[in-house]
Structure 1
Amino acid sequence: MHNPHMHPTDRKKELLYNNRIWIAASSAAICGVVAGYPFDSIKTRMQTYQYSSLWSCLKDTIKEEGFAGLYRVNQNSLTYITFSSTIAGGISGSAIATFTCPLELVKIQMQLSELINKERLKTIDVLKAEIFKMQNVTSSSYQKRLASLRNLENIVELSKNTNPEQSSRFRNLNSIKSIIRSHGPLGLYSGISINLLRDFLGSGIYFGTYETSKLLLKRVMKSNDSSPITHMIAGGICGVFAWIVIFPIDLIKSQYQKNLLAYPGNKQNYFECLRRIYASGGLKGFYRGISVTLIRAFPLHALNFTIYEY
């Protein structure tokens, strides 16, 4: 209960103290997303498209989209990560995924929008060439390709007709409308099951590894108290370890959502994504793009926990 005679400065201090957990979590999340978002963007691109290396992906992105391409829809990602990190201490990873799945899907669409449009145009050219070669115009194969061609041409035409100025100002809203138009309101929850699996495993491993690492570091340093360096190292370790475990799941999720966004009329399933990944790269294929993720993981999560604890 507030004291009515309390000085305004003391009230502010009391308010900050009472909400210190939420403030710390939000501050850590904001700092983390600003520092780590370009790495997340590169990770998604490497997971969903064939790049020879991290540097090749970075060079092509900057060349074709400028540095702004690395921070595409940063506001949306900031909302997503701040929200999920803030409530992570009180709600399990599976519950977080339920709330943030639509934001994750919108983030994927905005990160890959340029690449998806280019892929659609290439697919249109391939379909036209295949249709031209076919003789039997009444065959089911011909009709299927023709339907796919018309569907893709309509999608590309809609994206061309988008007002560029409005797209820049309301890109998140436009992305949501596009998903709902293609898949209905429940389309925003496309990939929810694999999001649940990833976040359920990830959260348990993440926080469990952090507490274990912190305890072991305190023993090594022969100290009862955790120092900033302890939080920094433990945070970095838990981030790296969690990503090593869940990265294949995240890769399948990204592939599934990219295919869903690029080809709205086609049915997608996780096992087909898994099969394609294995066919193109074997077991190593499930870790395509992990280099940039690990480069980001240690400093980002070290920063998160250092800010959160202090």
Structure 2
Amino acid sequence: MSTPPPPPKTGLLPAKSWQHFVAGGAGGLCGAIVTSPFDVVKTRLQSSLFKHTAVSLAGNGSVVIPQRPNNILYHFVETGHILRDIYREESPRALFKGLGPTLVGVVPARSINFWAYGNGKQIIAHQFNNGHENTWVHLSAAAVAGIITGSATNPIWVVKTRLQLEHHDQQHQTSSSSSKPKVIGGSWHTIKKIFREEGPKGFYKGLSASYLGVAEGTIQWTLYERLKKLTKDPEGKGGAMEWVGMLASAGTAKSVATLITYPHEVIRTRLRQPLVNGKVKYKGLVQTLRLVIAEEGAASLYGGLSAHMMRVIPNAAVMFFVYESILRL
């Protein structure tokens, strides 16, 4: 009897559990560093505190709030203006505010997410679908990975958001008081402040919005798998065009998922804002949604979208490129 031919080689060999963990963390690390300035701008545009800094005093002492065009196209122009202003008024280092907590959060978050997804789809496929992967397997694995990741890393993102809003929060507080601004510290100072003023539950603000955002990761992973399959080299050689297709798949999947689910990002940022004059303005998912629409209009649910898109598309491309590269190596 002739021996059966060996199975055809594929571009991506089966990875061990820890390899997903390492590859995901490395991809998240690279993507976060490259796109950090846009993350700062996005957070400020999502926050209501940013709007307070647009207040200026007229000659007669009255308060004037400049009218800002509230359309998505203008947001791209505004992103450039904010990057310039942060560079001039706060120093180039301010463009990387919150990068420390971001890296502390991104590495475990991406490691956990890629680990949970990569292994989850294998477990689900073998347990419930005779070892075959399909769309519902990808959907289920992505949803489970999103919930695990959000629950584990939410405190880190609260600290990061507070750090990125420091400059505007300080300006808002000092505009209503004649006292000198307080010196604002780093991550450890922010952690102590949250714990002192809000208790342990303060580190889990925005968690409900994070769970709502699981839909984004689910759409992204499922669409990425489908697009990657379409661009895959049928001979399994993994040529240059397959890598180009993989990058395009990652960017496209992230774009579609972001546009569909973006409002949860704004709601999550509002929930994580620091106290203003000792008061909490945004208290829950539904209350925040209603309040933002009532005070600022539905368009405000897309505040910071331009900066976010300018960040997440290259971020996704870099992250998945590093992830797939490490798995293949």
2:174 aligned with 1:121, yes or no? yes
C-alpha spacing 1:103/1:18, structure 2 compared with 1 (3 Å):
closer
1:6 corresponds to: none
Is 1:30 matched up with 2:29?
yes
Contact 2:40/2:96 (8 A) holds in 1: yes
Following the alignment from structure 2 to structure 1, what is the Cα–Cα distance between the partners of residues 171 and 146? Answer: 34
Separation in 1, partners of 2:158, 2:194: 9
Give the superposition deviation at 1:124: 4.1
Aligned with residue 81 of structure 1, among 88, 100, 106: 106
State how far apart, in whole Å, the 2-side matches of 1:264 and 1:93 are.
Answer: 32
Partner of 2:147: 94
Task: Find the counterpart in structure 1 of residue 245 from structure 2.
Answer: 230
Matched, 1:45 2:44: yes
User: 1:111: how far off?
Assistant: 0.4
Native 8 Å contact 2:267 2:288 kept in 1: yes
Give the aligned residue type for 1:212.
R
The aligned counterpart of 2:159 is 106
Amino acid at match of 1:29: G
- Alpha-carbon distance in structure 1 between the residues aligned to 2:170 and 2:286: 25
**Corresponding residue for residue 286 of structure 2:** 271
2-structure distance, mates of 1:118, 1:222: 58
Q: What do residues 218-259 of structure 1 show as CA deviations (whole Å, max 9, x unaligned)?
A: 4xx76656521121111111111121122101101112221x
TM-score (norm 1): 0.74
Work out which structure has the larger RCO, using CA pairs closer than 8 Å and 6 or more positions apart in sequence: 2
Alpha-carbon distance between aligned partners in 1 of 2:38 and 2:159, rounded to the nearest angstrom: 17
Structure 1 position 209, deviation (Å): 1.2
SS state of the match for residue 280, structure 2?
A: coil
- State the alpha-carbon separation in 2 of the partners of residues 287 and 267 from structure 1: 19
Distance 1:114 1:75 in 2: 17
1:210 aligns with one of 217, 224, 241:
224
Q: Which amino acid aligns with 2:293?
A: Y
Unaligned runs of 5+ in 1: 1-15, 126-152
CA deviations on 1:104-159 (whole Å, 9 max, x unpaired) are 1100110011110111122447xxxxxxxxxxxxxxxxxxxxxxxxxxx8xxx8x7
Which SS does the other structure have where 1:268 is aligned? coil
- Report the Cα distance in structure 2 between the residues aligned to 1:29 and 1:207, rounded to whole angstroms: 15
C-alpha distance in 2 between matches for 1:236 and 1:186: 35
Output the CA distance in 1 between the equivalents of 2:85 and 2:276.
Answer: 20
**Structure 2, unaligned runs of 5 or more:** 1-14, 55-67, 69-77, 117-144
CA spacing shift, 1:100–1:237, aligned 2, 3 Å:
same
Say yes or no: does 1:188 pair with 2:188: no
The corresponding residue for 1:57 is 82
Q: 1:234 to 1:116 in 2, by over 3 A?
A: same
2:119 is aligned to none
Taking a change above 3 Å as real, the CA distance of residues 89 and 17 of structure 1, as seen in their structure-2 partners, is closer
Residue type matched to 1:204 in 2?
Answer: T
Output the CA distance in 2 between the equivalents of 1:302 and 1:190.
29
Match of 1:72 among 97, 110, 128: 97
- The answer as to whether partners of 2:31 and 2:314 remain within 8 angstroms in 1 is no
Mapped partners of 1:225, 1:232: distance in 2: 17
Alpha-carbon distance between aligned partners in 2 of 1:25 and 1:181, rounded to the nearest angstrom: 34
CA–CA separation in structure 2 for the residues paired with 1:263 and 1:109:
15
Q: Distance in 2 between matches of 1:174 and 1:71?
A: 17
- Read off the aligned partner of 2:20 and give its amino acid letter: I
Q: Distance in 2 between matches of 1:17 and 1:241?
A: 30
- Which residue type is aligned with residue 276 of structure 2? A
Number of positions where the alignment pairs a residue of Structure 1 with one of Structure 2: 253
Structure (1/2) with the larger helix percentage: 1
Residue 280 of structure 1 and its aligned partner are, at CA, apart by: 4.7
CA distance in 2, matches of 1:68, 1:263: 28
Q: Secondary structure at the match of 2:35?
A: helix
Are the counterparts in 1 of residues 161 and 269 from structure 2 also a CA contact under 8 Å? yes
Question: Cα gap change, 1:286/1:225 in structure 2, threshold over 3 Å: closer, same or farther?
Answer: farther
Q: CA RMSD in A?
A: 2.5
Match for residue 304 of structure 2?
Answer: 289
TM-score (norm 2): 0.70
